[in-house]
Amino acid sequence: MADFKVTRLDADLDFDSLTYWDVVIIGAGPAGLAASLTTAHRGLTTLVIEAKDRPGGQPQFLYSDKRIVDIPGFPDGVTGEDLSDRTYRQAVDALVQFRFQEELTEINETDQIENEDQLKEVVTSQGSYLCRKVIIACGLLHFPRKHPVLDSLQSNKVYYKIPKIGDYENQRIAIIGGGDSALDAAVMVLERGGLAEVIVREETPVGKDDSLQRIKDSGGIIHTSTEVTSAEFSGDHLALTLSDSQILPCDGAIVQIGFLSAKDTFERLNVRLNDDGSIAIDAYFETSRRGIFAIGDVHGDIKLITVAWAEGIQAAIYAFKEITSPYWLNEKRLRDNKITMIGEKITQAAAAQKPSRKRP
Per-run averaged pLDDT (10 residues), the chain, 360 residues: 63 92 96 96 96 87 79 89 94 96 93 90 95 91 81 90 71 94 90 93 92 94 96 93 95 87 81 88 93 90 87 94 76 65 67 59
Q: What distance in Å separates the CA atoms of residue 187 and residue 182, rounded to the nearest whole number?
A: 9
**Res 59: pLDDT:** 83
Asked if 21 and 110 sit in the same domain, the reply is yes
CATH number of the domain within which 126 lies? 3.50.50.60
Asked if 57 and 184 sit in the same domain, the reply is no
Give the relative orientation of helices 209-217 and 180-191 as an angle to the nearest 10 degrees.
30
Asked if 225 and 271 sit in the same domain, the reply is no
Domain that holds residue 318: 15-142+260-335
**Res 247: pLDDT:** 95
**Res 354: pLDDT:** 64
Chain centroid offset of residue 97 CA:
20
Asked if 134 and 164 sit in the same domain, the reply is no
Asked if 107 and 183 sit in the same domain, the reply is no
**Res 33: pLDDT:** 97
Q: What distance in Å separates the CA atoms of residue 257 and residue 160, rounded to the nearest whole number?
A: 9
**Res 280: pLDDT:** 93
Strands 259-261 and 141-144: antiparallel
What does pTM read for this prediction?
A: 0.69
**Res 52: pLDDT:** 87
